[in-house]
A and B are shown apart, each in its own frame.
Chain A
């Protein structure tokens, strides 16, 4: 009987219970009228004006109130206490802009975790980082998690261009936050 070749990943021997359970998608409100919108800004260049414009347009269109938070570290998911506070103070959350390797994954992770806490989220990433956002969502138990996409790059845009981008992605954000789905 020859020796087995050992697995270097540690995943083949993991007990079935250690796999992440499927993460629930939060129920959606029928509309955003008068909703409390939490903006979670990941600090990447232009993320702040981008999300601020999304918030301004949502306030204009639906009379939402906006609160703004800043991620402490764009590269990793938010700590549990921040997630809880966000869930308490917001009916829906918009976060981004995931435009790098670690921050796109972290944005997707924040989205999945907030959804499981009952808050609908619109995660915004640039189109260069779909693969890593998809991989993180699947890892967190939400394969196929839907998010909004804007063209890469965002960091080099001028002020008016950022506003245009926010306006362009607005319908997708609204749909993500209000349309029921799987």
Chain B
């Protein structure tokens, strides 16, 4: 085989930059034969519309998703995962609304379950948030390029992130099902039976909980509770977090006899602050019974009662969907991550489609 011409490759890469298609990093120039090989992995019609952003009058078709996935550096066989991740993302209310335009600059958290992880070479072990692994890096990048190119959401124009989220368009976690004591996230999202599936939500950032010396699981849970309960991220009466537990923490809770639901419930009951603590942080409104317009995101209380006492506890989580749990990373230290969800998770997972 004759080695490729690097000068020609560079001209093609620069051409893509000049068209305004890039997220800042070099793109793989997409040719018709390359995109055909992506389309050949799905039974879907290339013209099928798989997502619309009505406010900007733009649609994403299977074909456009394939072009952007190719440009992101995906291999053709990743394409069904890209389609599932995008479908899951577009189930999020915030993504269909103004999420991609938002000052908060949220990042999709993509979680992959099932045998597709091994088949495509996802990283399921240490360094779960990357980098170093092609499917984990290029699939979320494909989603970012779809938002930029197919939806036309460009920074400083329709994309108005104040600071954005570090690693936006690069967060794709393959759950460490092999070392998890519990069922996969996809089962919580309605896709059980070990089927390959993708779950996606929008997130605003994440913070680690490093607790590797406490022998008592309740102490560790209290450490999580404290991190979850910060006032800084609280902008509505209710919020949501994803817990990305390392195998060591997950196994510790399981060894103490706790199911995933019991860990969720322990934290659901206790995560939050008192009304006075929110008030002293200038956020009394998040504890108000009359927060926001009816039906708005976060409007939690319809009744109008007497003012709440400063020492009244205000819980911030509202149900299992407000605290999905994923097990990821290496079993080499007790370090987990609290991920702030933007809005709420749809609570549904999308099976990775096979070619029909």
- CB atoms of B150 and A6 under 8 A apart: no
Q: What mask results when residues 159 to 187 of chain B are scored 1 for a CB within 8 Å of chain A, else 0?
A: 11100000000000000000000000000
Chain A nearest CB, measured from B1 CB (Å): 18
- Which of A21-29, A73-81, A86-94, A164-172 participates in binding chain B? A73-81
- CB atoms of B160 and A8 under 8 A apart: no
Select the residue from A8, A75, A102, A104 with max chain B CB neighbours within 10 A.
Answer: A8
CB-contacts of B139-155 with A (<8 A): 145, 149-150, 152
- CB atoms of A4 and B101 under 8 A apart: no
Chain B contributes a number of interface residues (CB within 8 A of A) equal to 44
Q: How far is the CA of A5 from the CA of B70 in the complex (A)?
A: 11
Chain A nearest CB, measured from B157 CB (Å): 5
Given A5-B29, A10-B61, A136-B158, is A102 in contact with B145 using a C-beta cutoff of 8 Å? no
The SS class assigned to the A binding surface is loop
Return the contact of B97 from the options A73, A109, A135, A136 (Cβ within 8 A): A73
Chain A nearest CB, measured from B101 CB (Å): 4
Determine the chain B residues whose CB is within 8 A of the CB of A82 once the complex forms: none
Check: B341 CB closer than 8 A to any chain A CB. Answer: no
- CB atoms of B97 and A102 under 8 A apart: yes
Determine the chain B residues whose CB is within 8 A of the CB of A20 once the complex forms: 57
Select the residue from A70, A101, A106 with max chain B CB neighbours within 10 A.
Answer: A101
Chain B nearest CB, measured from A125 CB (Å): 11
Q: How far is the CA of A106 from the CA of B158 in the complex (A)?
A: 11
The SS class assigned to the B binding surface is mixed
Given A76-B54, A100-B103, is A5 in contact with B15 using a C-beta cutoff of 8 Å? yes
Check: B32 CB closer than 8 A to any chain A CB. Answer: yes
Q: How far is the CA of A9 from the CA of B54 in the complex (A)?
A: 16
- CB atoms of A76 and B98 under 8 A apart: yes
- CB atoms of B160 and A101 under 8 A apart: yes
Check: B25 CB closer than 8 A to any chain A CB. Answer: no
- CB atoms of B64 and A43 under 8 A apart: no
- CB atoms of B33 and A3 under 8 A apart: yes
Q: What mask results when residues 107 to 150 of chain B are scored 1 for a CB within 8 Å of chain A, else 0?
A: 00000000000000000000000000000000000000100011
Check: A7 CB closer than 8 A to any chain B CB. Answer: yes
Determine the chain B residues whose CB is within 8 A of the CB of A104 once the complex forms: 160
Return the contact of B158 from the options A5, A100, A132 (Cβ within 8 A): A132
- CB atoms of B12 and A5 under 8 A apart: yes
Check: A51 CB closer than 8 A to any chain B CB. Answer: no
The chain A residue with its CB closest to the CB of B54 is: A76
CB within 8 Å: A-B pair count: 107
- CB atoms of B55 and A4 under 8 A apart: no
Size category of the A interface is 20 to 34
CB-contacts of B276-305 with A (<8 A): 292-293, 295-296
- CB atoms of A43 and B292 under 8 A apart: yes
Q: How far is the CA of A3 from the CA of B31 in the complex (A)?
A: 6
Q: How far is the CA of A139 from the CA of B56 in the complex (A)?
A: 7
Determine the chain A residues whose CB is within 8 A of the CB of B33 once the complex forms: 3
- CB atoms of B160 and A139 under 8 A apart: no
Check: B16 CB closer than 8 A to any chain A CB. Answer: yes
- CB atoms of A7 and B19 under 8 A apart: yes
Determine the chain A residues whose CB is within 8 A of the CB of B71 once the complex forms: 8
Check: B156 CB closer than 8 A to any chain A CB. Answer: yes
Q: How far is the CA of A135 from the CA of B55 in the complex (A)?
A: 12
The chain A residue with its CB closest to the CB of B105 is: A101
Chain A nearest CB, measured from B294 CB (Å): 9
- CB atoms of B55 and A100 under 8 A apart: no
Q: What mask results when residues 15 to 31 of chain B are scored 1 for a CB within 8 Å of chain A, else 0?
A: 11001010000000111
- CB atoms of B32 and A4 under 8 A apart: yes
The chain B residue with its CB closest to the CB of A12 is: B19
Q: How far is the CA of A55 from the CA of B12 in the complex (A)?
A: 57
- CB atoms of A43 and B161 under 8 A apart: no
- CB atoms of B158 and A135 under 8 A apart: yes
Check: B67 CB closer than 8 A to any chain A CB. Answer: yes
- CB atoms of B295 and A6 under 8 A apart: no
Check: A161 CB closer than 8 A to any chain B CB. Answer: no
Q: How far is the CA of A109 from the CA of B15 in the complex (A)?
A: 33
Cβ-closest 6 pairs across A and B: A102-B98, A101-B160, A75-B98, A3-B31, A101-B101, A8-B149
Given contacts A5-B30, A100-B103, A102-B97, 14 further A-B contacts (CB under 8 A): A6-B70, A7-B67, A8-B21, A10-B64, A20-B57, A76-B98, A101-B160, A105-B55, A105-B98, A105-B101, A132-B157, A132-B160, A135-B158, A139-B56
Binding site for B on A (CB under 8 A): 3-11, 20, 43, 70, 72-77, 100-106, 109, 129, 131-132, 135-136, 139-140
Interface pairs (17), CB distance under 8 Å? A5-B12, A5-B15, A5-B16, A6-B31, A7-B19, A7-B21, A75-B97, A75-B101, A100-B98, A103-B98, A105-B55, A106-B55, A131-B156, A132-B101, A132-B157, A135-B157, A136-B158
Binding site for A on B (CB under 8 A): 12, 15-16, 19, 21, 29-33, 35, 54-61, 64, 67-68, 70-71, 97-99, 101-103, 145, 149-150, 152, 156-161, 292-293, 295-296
